[in-house]
Amino acid sequence: MTEMNNQETMLAEGAIFYIFGATGDLARRKLFPAIYSLYREDKLGKNFAVVGLARRPRTQEQFREDVRAAIDEFCRYDVQQDEDWNEFAKHFEYKPLDINNVDGFRELQQHSQQLEHEFHIPGNRLFYLALAPELFGAVSYNLRDGGLLDTKGWSRLVIEKPFGYDLESAKQLNEELRSVFNEDQIYRIDHYLGKEMVQNIEVIRFANAFFEPLWNNKHIANVQISLSETVGVEERGGYYDQAGALRDMAQNHMLQMLTMIAMEPPSRLHPEDIRDEKVKVLRSLRTYESDEEVVGNVVRGQYSAGSLKGKDLPGYREEDKVNPESTTETYLGARVYVDNFRWAGVPFYIRTGKRLPVKTTEVVVEFKSIPSRVYLSSKHNLEPNLLVIRVNPMEGIYVRINGKKPGSEGGVQPLAMDFCQSSIVGINTPEAYERLIFDAARGDSTYFTRWDEVSEAWAFVDRIAQAWKNTSEDLHFYPAGSWGPERANELLAEDGFHWWPVNGQEEDTVVWK
């Protein structure tokens, strides 16, 4: 939470939101619903326009109907009950655009001036590229050459991942963007940073007297970050087969969550100070020196045919647009070290996979056990204390402590002090995209990734990718619907630990509540 984030105010000045890729999936599922939610919460005010841009022809009416259907399907607010729909819809326009043709951008510039006049917008422009990254360069150049950046207000570029395929391609992409925009105009989305509970990590750590003193290698035994998904690759086989879990999830979401857990307190609650601390964590990640070290610390798996909730599922290699001999990983588990004074010697275990039994994202901080042979621990097998942050889809925090078993026989049992945010705030928790679009529009870049973070994350990931290129013998197959390769359990067992069950897993919380 930054000083800026405290001001949940309306976007006072107004802006034009240009959605490139307006007929695509992201716009439909996330962007239009997010803009509508912001509108319903009076955060957008009245001085805004949304221009949908894509290649295919669409009339204004068709486009507004598409937007309405998307909101109806994916938004947390009920559009059916909205009597003022037309009032909202009139802010939406569609323009067919060939992004390789600068003339279309020139027309867009002229049209933008009309819109700015009509909606009293002082020249602020937010360009959201919901497009394949190969197109970012062409769009940026044409925005400049078409005159769209010659405006009295601010202009900002919001881009989606993947930001490159490796460090080299990311650098090239960055150079293209930087030849048009300054770093502080570029907002690189990692939608995990928009999630309520990921943002909450900072608050939990720095606003509570009893965590920060223990938040180091003297008291923490290990940290586990699990991001499990039930879905396979759906219709994204073409993209995913090139990316795999390493590039799709670890390079961004997983490492970003890790930085939030591991970073030092920033000197001020300012976006740059927070990102300075995050990048230091990435710079402190221990690099695996050899291919053997990669194989010893990073587990990769691929799902084979299996079943989930009684439904038979194909293996990854049988999925649409996937190479039938693919060695792409759909599961990744890794032991990562942050080599700095605070964390020296503490393993961070991360795991993510597709076609696992439940959809959940959780962070577990396992504290060191109290000395054995002292008082109660000499008689009982005491379980370690845990702090669990549930990110998704359930949101909450719980602390697991040891307490007395009720009754006169004595004994100790683990108890959970449980705060369930989802049950309290319910469906009204803002979606990640709402927060991120709103933040970009008011110039708060805290929860966007800065170039140095992206490049450090790629450097770390490239070392793993390089080792994997040399051999695929360490690829483990796991049946769809299982918890991934056994090797991921061994990884923790080697250090005397085990994965804590996540929400929805069989053993979950039964004992603890």
Q: Residue written as tokens 């996937």? A: 322
| Whole-angstrom distance, CA of residue 182 vs CA of residue 63 | 32
- Residue 259 interacting with ligand BG6 (CB under 6 A): no
Which of 121, 464 has the CB closer to ligand BG6? 464
Size of the site for ligand BG6 (CB under 6 A): 4
H-helix segments, 126-216? 136-145, 167-178, 196-206
The one-letter amino acid at 45: G
Instruction: Answer for the pair 254, 348: CB distance below 8 angstroms, yes or no.
Output: no
Task: Say if residue 98 carries a ligand binding annotation.
Answer: yes
Determine contact, residues 125/6, Cβ cutoff 8 Å: no
| Minimum distance of ligand BG6 from residue 381's CB (angstroms) | 35
Give least dist CB 248 to ligand BG6, A.
5
Active-site residue, 117 included: no
CB of 244 to ligand BG6, least distance (A): 10
28 annotated ligand-binding residue = yes
Q: Are residues 363 and 391 in contact, defined by beta-carbon separation less than 8 angstroms?
A: yes
Of 392 and 446, CB closest to ligand BG6: 392
Please identify, using beta-carbon distances, which residue of 190 and 462 lies nearer to ligand BG6.
190
> Between residues 240 and 500, which has the closer beta carbon with respect to ligand BG6?
240
What's the min distance (Å) between Cβ of 298 and ligand BG6? 19
- In angstroms, the CA 74 to CA 70 distance is 6
Q: Is 354 annotated as a binding residue?
A: yes
Helix (H) or strand (E) holding 476: strand 475-479
370, 300, 356: which is closest to 331 by C-alpha? 300
Minimum distance from residue 161 beta carbon to ligand BG6 (Å): 6
Q: How far is the CB of 255 from ligand BG6 (least distance, A)?
A: 13
The C-alpha atoms of residue 429 and residue 230 are separated, in whole angstroms, by 22
For residue 135, give the nearest of 160, 155, 104 by alpha carbon: 160
Number of H helices, E strands in the chain: 17, 18
Say if residue 371 is preceded by a cis peptide, omega within 30 of 0.
no
- Is 359 within any annotated ligand binding site? yes
Q: Nearer Cβ to ligand BG6, position 155 or 252?
A: 252
Compute φ and ψ for 116, nearest 5 degrees. -65, -35
**Active-site residue among 111, 117, 253, 498?**
253
- Cβ 432 to ligand BG6 shortest distance, Å: 7
Among 93, 107, 229, 418, binds ligand BG6 (CB under 6 A): 229
Examine residue 393 and say whether the peptide bond preceding it is cis (omega within 30 degrees of 0).
Answer: yes
CB 266 within 8 A of CB 277: yes
Residues 383/400, Cβ–Cβ less than 8 Å? yes
Q: In this structure, are residues 79 and 73 in contact, taking their beta carbons and an 8 Å threshold?
A: no
Q: Closest separation between CB of residue 28 and ligand BG6, Å?
A: 15
Site string for ligand BG6, 299-338 (x = CB under 6 A): ----------------------------------------
Q: CA-CA distance, 127 to 18, in Å (whole number)? A: 5
Figure out which of the listed residues 251, 302, 392, 455 binds ligand BG6, where binding follows CB under 6 A. 392
CA distances from 479 to 97, 103, 306, 420, 507 (A): 44, 52, 5, 32, 20
Shorter beta-carbon distance to ligand BG6: residue 229 or 486:
229
Residues 477-496 that bind ligand BG6 (CB under 6 A): none
| CB nearer to ligand BG6: pick between 229 and 273 | 229
- Rounded Cα distance, 448 and 453, in Å: 10
Q: Give yes or no for residue 362 binding ligand BG6 (CB under 6 A).
A: no
Residue 248 lies near ligand BG6 (rule: CB under 6 A): yes
Which residue sits closest to ligand BG6, CB atoms considered?
248
Question: What part of residues 127-186 is at the interface with ligand BG6 (CB under 6 A)?
Answer: none
Q: Cβ neighbours of residue 464 under 8 Å, at least 6 residues apart?
A: 246, 288, 294, 298, 334
Could you identify the residue written with the tokens 């976006």?
Answer: 271
When the beta carbons of 187 and 215 are compared against ligand BG6, the nearer one is: 187
3-state secondary structure of 124: coil
Which residues participate in catalysis according to the annotation?
253
Residues that bind ligand BG6 (CB under 6 A): 229, 248, 361, 392
Query: Annotated binding residues for NADP(+), as ranges?
Result: 21-28, 55, 98-99, 161
Query: Annotated binding residues for substrate, as ranges?
Result: 191, 195, 229, 248, 354, 359
Query: Annotated binding residues, as ranges?
Result: 21-28, 55, 98-99, 161, 191, 195, 229, 248, 354, 359
